[in-house]
């Protein structure tokens, strides 16, 4: 009688291990769950119109977007691969950054105080896929995504279907 319980526990353990290596809410289907929004004026919203797949996506309206993803664990020698889809009415409205964090939980920034990977969404009426690979610095213990819109940007951007793979 114990066998089914043991199998269920094993299955649960396997799925937990898998999710530690993936974003929990990559397509904004659960609103901003596991995304942190820190904006003086509301710029970001989760809307149906901003969906590329599923029933919702991230919509940015004008400058000042400031969003952070959850952080995934990364080990020395591992590589992070970031993918997402976006469309925008102007260049620079959607800016997606890959940010490694050190053991002190602080972001590891370059000499200009910028994250090492910055992807700028280009003007396009159609959805465009973006992909970037990043070999993690030795001192990094976790990695996450920041989403911004440049301070002078005007217009609208939609982003959806994020993926952050650590391998």
Site of interaction with Ca ion (CB under 5 A): 27, 51, 54, 57, 160
Min CB(22)–Ca ion separation in Å: 15
- Residues 6 or more apart whose CB falls under 8 angstroms from that of 92 comprise 120, 121, 149, 150, 153
Min CB(161)–Ca ion separation in Å: 6
140 or 157: CB nearest Ca ion:
157
Q: How far apart are CA 67 and CA 36, in angstroms?
A: 5
Backbone angles phi, psi at 128, to 5 degrees: -125, 135
**CA distance readout (Å), 108 to 69, 98, 102, 104, 143:** 16, 10, 6, 10, 10
Min CB(69)–Ca ion separation in Å: 14
Min CB(91)–Ca ion separation in Å: 23
61 or 136: CB nearest Ca ion:
61
Contact of 57 with 73, CB cutoff 8 Å: no
Structure tokens at 48: 């149906």
Min CB(114)–Ca ion separation in Å: 28
27 or 115: CB nearest Ca ion:
27
Q: Which residue is nearest to Ca ion (CB)?
A: 27
54 or 102: CB nearest Ca ion:
54
92: left (phi over 0), alpha (psi -120 to 50) or beta: left
42 or 54: CB nearest Ca ion:
54
């Amino acid at each position: 009688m114990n066998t089914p319980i043991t199998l269920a526990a094993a299955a649960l353990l396997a799925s937990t291990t898998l999710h530690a290596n993936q974003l929990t809410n990559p397509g904004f289907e659960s609103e901003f769950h596991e995304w942190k929004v820190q904006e003086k004026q509301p710029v970001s919203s989760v809307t149906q119109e901003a969906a590329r797949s599923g029933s919702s996506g991230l919509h940015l309206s004008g400058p000042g977007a400031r969003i952070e993803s959850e952080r995934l664990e990364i080990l020395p020698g591992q590589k992070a691969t970031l993918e997402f889809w976006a469309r925008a009415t102007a260049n620079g409205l959607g800016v997606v950054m890959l940010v490694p964090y050190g053991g002190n939980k602080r972001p590891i920034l370059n000499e200009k105080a910028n994250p090492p990977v910055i992807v700028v969404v280009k003007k396009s009426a159609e959805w465009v896929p973006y992909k970037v690979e990043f070999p993690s610095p030795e001192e990094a213990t976790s990695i996450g995504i920041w989403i911004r819109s440049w301070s002078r940007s005007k217009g609208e951007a939609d982003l959806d279907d994020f993926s952050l793979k650590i391998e």
